[in-house]
Chains A and B, each alone.
Chain A
Amino acid sequence: MSFARWVAIYGPTYLTGLGWTAVTAFGAAVGAIVWGCVLLLLRLAGPRWPARAVDAYVQLFRNTPVLLPIYIVYFGFPLVGLPWPAVICGGLALVLQNGAYVSEILRGGLKAIDRVQFDAARSLGLTPWNTFRKILLPQVLVYSIPALGSQVVLLLKDTSLLSAITVTELTMQAKLLTEQTGAAYEAFIVVALLYLLLVSTTEVMFRAAHRAVRWR
């Protein structure tokens, strides 16, 4: 049957996959940003063991493919008494992996803040917590928005790997449809288009966010 007809018939079934992909990506993105902030805080504890541990953590996740944490959590957690649903396992793995990258991005944002600002904050008698909350974090986040946007896009694409652990997101949806209908081309081209749509939407959102909070 023609492409258009196929899409008309099977299009709506993609909605499940689309929903799972969007929700997982969103949840993992939020989690990764929060986790990245935590890692950054740990690193700021200076040249003691937390900073070293974070460095090792980041190096580990930068030099290993994301499928490994996904498999470790999915296959390993049931063995230690945590038989969580596949989507949670996958989401956790994505958070752990992307959190490492987020903390590196935030660190770059940190370097963009002039040292004098910290002197000024100390001179005003601000507590470390207030300095972090009112001076450091707002600036770091704004400087980091473009790179964070790129990272969220990468995370979005990585959700496709969750199809390997039976999560019914978009890619899995395409595989199922291919098996059902034998129309491999149509199935995957639609999926590719949907991903492009998600990616472009995310990029547009981040660019708008950056424009909105910039102060120059």
Chain B
Amino acid sequence: MIRIRGLQKSFGTLPVLRGVDLDIADGEVVALIGRSGCGKTTLLRCINFLEEYDGGEIRLDGEPLWYRAAADGRRHRVSEAEARRMRQTMGIVFQQYNLFPHMTALENVVLGPRFSQHVPAAEADALGRRLLTRVGLEAKISAYPAQLSGGQQQRVAIARALAMRPKILLFDEITSALDPELVGEVEDVIRALLSDRIMMVLVTHALGFAREIAHRIAYLSEGSIVELGTPAEILERPKDPTLKEFLRRMR
């Protein structure tokens, strides 16, 4: 499970996260929603330390991530090697340009296992093929990203994230840049992942999809979680006025 306490981050003088608290239980799916600039993407990127944060802590299964308290009481960044090790427990899929264009789908998927986790080539290969079949792209194993549609690229990106056997999956608006008719195939893949009971955090604007698969939805505004609850609570019985306004705009 993930425990986030008091997460703070500023870009220069601009505060973006003002003390975020969030718990994610094993197998739980949490959706992060909110207006642009509310900090949801920054929060996601702090979880796997693509962004450094100024205060607060993140724990995975009890182990503090990214910073350690030193003897002098201050916190120190973990070493790059440690950070890399920690990142391997997480998978992330971005909005676009996920895949390395000079590698085939299979090569993209096996890259992490082979070079970060030192899985032997044959085993990584078999794993990659299994995962690509699982996301419905068995026929595209040797295709290059330029030969794939946006939806197919995102599915390969999901397979690539899964190949690391992560404890948590992070999705940063992964269907926002897709043509509408391609969104469904990506959402199908995520639905199928629910049975794996991996923790998932989705930053999304697709409220219908969030309602369907999220156990809880967190609404962020100006750098903190203003309201947190089940999809029914957040989407049908919102309490916060800014949340009501946000939902009204999104309809």
Q: Do chains A and B touch in the complex (CB under 8 A)?
A: yes
Chain A residues close to B by CB (< 8 Å) = 114, 116-117, 119-120, 122-128, 130, 134-135, 138-139, 142, 215-216
User: How many positions in chain B have a CB within 8 Å of any CB in the partner chain?
Assistant: 27
Which residues of A sit under 8 angstroms from B117, Cβ to Cβ?
125
Task: With A215-B101, A215-B102 as known contacts, state yes or no: A127 contacts B96, CB within 8 Å.
Answer: no
In the complex, what's the smallest C-beta–C-beta distance from B168 to chain A, in angstroms? 12
Contact among A116, A120, A124, A215 for B116, CB-based, below 8 A: A124
Q: Are B102 and A116 in contact (CB under 8 A)?
A: no
Q: Which of B98, B102, B112 contacts A126 (CB 8 A)?
A: B112
B residues near A126, Cβ cutoff 8 Å: 84, 111-112, 115-116
Asked if A119 and B50 sit within 8 Å, CB to CB, the answer is yes
A125-B112 in contact (CB<8A): yes
Q: Which of B103-122 contact A (CB under 8 A)?
A: 111-112, 115-117
Which chain B residue lies CB-closest to A216? Answer: B146
Closest to A118 in B: B50
CA distance A142 to B48 in the complex (A): 31
B87 within 8 A of A: yes
Q: Contacts A125-B84, A142-B102, A216-B146 given: A116-B164 contact, CB under 8 Å?
A: no
For B166, the closest partner residue in chain A by CB is A123
Chain A residues within an 8 Å CB radius of B128: none
Q: Find B111's partner among A116, A127, A134 (CB 8 Å cutoff).
A: A134
The residue of chain A having its C-beta at the shortest distance from the C-beta of B50 within the complex is A119
Q: Which of A119, A123, A142 contacts B91 (CB 8 A)?
A: A123
B241 CB to closest chain A CB (Å) equals 35
- Cross-chain pairs A/B with CB under 8 angstroms, 26 sampled: A114-B97, A116-B94, A116-B96, A116-B97, A116-B98, A117-B97, A117-B100, A119-B92, A120-B92, A120-B94, A120-B100, A123-B92, A124-B88, A125-B84, A125-B88, A125-B116, A125-B117, A126-B84, A128-B80, A135-B100, A138-B102, A139-B100, A142-B102, A215-B101, A216-B101, A216-B144
Q: How far is the CA of A138 from the CA of B103 in the complex (A)?
A: 10
Which residue numbers of B lie inside 8 Å of A, CB to CB? Answer: 48, 50, 80, 84-85, 87-88, 90-92, 94, 96-102, 111-112, 115-117, 144, 146, 160, 164
Q: A125-B116, A215-B102 given. 16 additional CB < 8 A pairs?
A: A116-B97, A123-B87, A124-B111, A124-B112, A124-B160, A126-B84, A126-B116, A127-B84, A128-B80, A130-B116, A134-B115, A135-B100, A139-B100, A139-B102, A215-B144, A216-B146
Residue of B94, B96, B146 most packed against chain A (CB within 10 A) = B94
Chain A residues, CB < 8 A from B99: 120
Bound form: Cα–Cα A114–B250 in Å: 30
Residue in B90, B96, B146 whose CB lies within 8 Å of A123: B90
- How distant is the Cα of A138 from the Cα of B107 in the complex, in angstroms? 14
In the bound assembly, the distance between CA atoms of A44 and B42 in angstroms comes to 25
Cβ-defined contact, B98 with A120, below 8 A = yes
> Sorted from nearest, which 6 A-B pairs have the closest CB atoms?
A125-B116, A124-B112, A116-B97, A216-B146, A114-B97, A125-B88
Give the distance to chain A from B148, nearest Cβ to Cβ, in Å.
12
Q: How many Å lie between the Cα of A139 and that of B50 in the bound state? A: 22
When chains A and B are docked, how far (Å) is the Cα of A130 from the Cα of B111? Answer: 10
* Residue in contact with B164 in the complex, picked from A114, A124, A127, A216, CB distance below 8 Å: A124
